[in-house]
């Protein structure tokens, strides 16, 4: 039976999520990939236990994480209901609903029916009475924003979630949603969006500045650009890489000569700083107090231990930040 390290809180740093009372570890663990139906149970446990032993208290899921959809929640539920059960009050567990989960007109979106049904299914898979954070996973133009926000409000009041978050929203829609949630007196505390050295969308669509002005936290997913911001692609596309497997999130066509050139230059800068490229890339996302935490996805313990280093260490100089911006300018999203 697993017993957590007594020193689990000695190194990790924690940041307050917006102006709420909740703190998140600077590095959180996302279960988007590598925790589904085909994952090795022993490896799942090793990653989860290593994370908690090193101060990662936040575990992020969604209803459709797998493969197959729901599998990551089921696998996490097996561990949280047994070997992590006694530590439940030390953990932040989040899940989401918004993308397609099951067939028919009620299997995705932002309707009240879908959000309640999906969360109830998630709780059964997770073997939990509540989650700490429940996100609406995407904007939905077909559902009135008021309906979605009121559903989130009632979910909190029902005891199914302690806090709510929004994922993949842009700045203007976030502002409208936040106004409604404030009126409903809902503890809306966090936004989850893609953000990395190559992808600055939340800077362009106003989400980052709006979130900061509204005193809401931001947690960044894909901070390593699906593995591009590591040393894996410096010499081409590895046979066992996500790009080579024809992932819908990272395609071989994404790995252009211009992008490889940028990765090599970034890797050289990381070496000058005495870091791996992935460590530097994660620190870049965390370089200011507008981002609360980064979500890392790993397939093995060694990757996780390297990523955890980003929670502390060398800050960036202004010239270093300028070099990074110049290097990636031709390939920015």
Provide DSSP, 241-308. STTTTT-SSS-GGG--HHHHHHHHHHHHHHHHTTS-HHHHHHHHHTSSTT--EEEE--SSHHHHHHHH
> How far, in Å, CA of 179 to CA of 182, rounded?
5
102-129 burial by CB neighbour count: b if 16+ within 10 A, else e?
eeeeebbbbbeebbbbbbebbbebbbbe
For helices 41-53 and 71-80, the axis angle rounded to 10 degrees is 60
Is 155 part of a structural domain of the chain? yes
Element (H, E) at 96: strand 92-97
What is the Cα gyration radius of the chain?
19
123: domain range? 14-234+278-315
Is 229 part of a structural domain of the chain? yes
Q: What is the pLDDT along the chain (333 residues), one digit of tens a residue?
A: 999 999 999 999 999 999 999 999 999 999 998 999 999 999 999 999 999 999 999 999 999 999 999 999 999 999 999 999 999 999 999 999 999 999 999 999 999 999 999 999 999 999 999 999 999 999 999 999 999 999 999 999 999 999 999 999 999 999 999 999 999 999 999 999 999 999 999 999 999 999 999 999 999 999 999 899 998 877 766 655 554 444 445 556 668 889 999 999 999 999 999 999 999 999 999 999 899 999 999 999 999 999 999 988 778 999 999 999 999 999 998
Q: For residue 21, what is the domain's CATH number?
A: 3.20.20.100
Is 6 part of a structural domain of the chain? no
Is 246 part of a structural domain of the chain? no
- DSSP-assigned letter for residue 197: S
Count of structural domains within the chain = 1
């Amino acid at each position: 039976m697993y017993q957590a390290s007594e020193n689990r809180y000695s190194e990790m740093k924690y940041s307050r999520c917006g102006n709420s009372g909740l703190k998140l570890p600077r590095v959180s663990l996302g279960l988007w990939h590598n925790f589904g139906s085909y994952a090795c149970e022993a490896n799942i446990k090793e990653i989860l236990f290593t994370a908690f032993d090193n101060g990662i208290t936040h575990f992020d899921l969604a209803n459709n994480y797998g493969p197959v959809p729901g599998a990551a929640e089921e696998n996490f539920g097996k561990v949280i209901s047994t070997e992590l059960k006694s530590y439940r009050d030390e953990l932040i567990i989040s899940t989401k609903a918004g993308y397609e989960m099951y067939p028919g007109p009620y299997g995705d979106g932002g309707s009240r029916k879908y959000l309640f049904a999906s969360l109830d299914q998630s709780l059964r898979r997770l073997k939990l009475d509540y989650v700490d954070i429940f996100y609406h996973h995407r904007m939905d133009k077909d559902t009135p924003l008021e309906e979605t926000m009121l559903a989130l409000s009632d979910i909190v009041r029902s005891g199914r979630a302690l806090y709510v978050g929004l994922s993949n929203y842009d700045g203007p829609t976030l502002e409208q949603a936040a106004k409604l949630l404030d009126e409903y007196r809902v503890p809306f505390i966090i936004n989850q969006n893609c953000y990395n050295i190559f992808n600055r969308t939340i800077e362009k669509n106003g989400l980052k500045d709006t979130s900061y002005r509204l005193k809401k936290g931001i947690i960044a997913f894909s901070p390593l650009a699906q593995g591009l911001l590591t040393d894996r692609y410096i010499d081409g596309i590895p046979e066992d890489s996500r790009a080579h497997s024809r992932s819908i999130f990272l395609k071989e066509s994404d790995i252009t000569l211009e992008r490889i050139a940028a990765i090599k230059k970034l890797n050289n800068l990381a070496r000058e700083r005495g870091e791996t490229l992935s460590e530097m890339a994660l620190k870049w996302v965390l370089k200011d107090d507008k981002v609360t935490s980064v979500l890392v996805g790993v397939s093995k313990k060694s990757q996780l231990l390297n990523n955890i280093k980003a929670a502390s260490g060398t800050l960036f100089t202004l010239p270093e930040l300028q070099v990074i911006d110049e290097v990636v300018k031709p390939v920015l999203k």
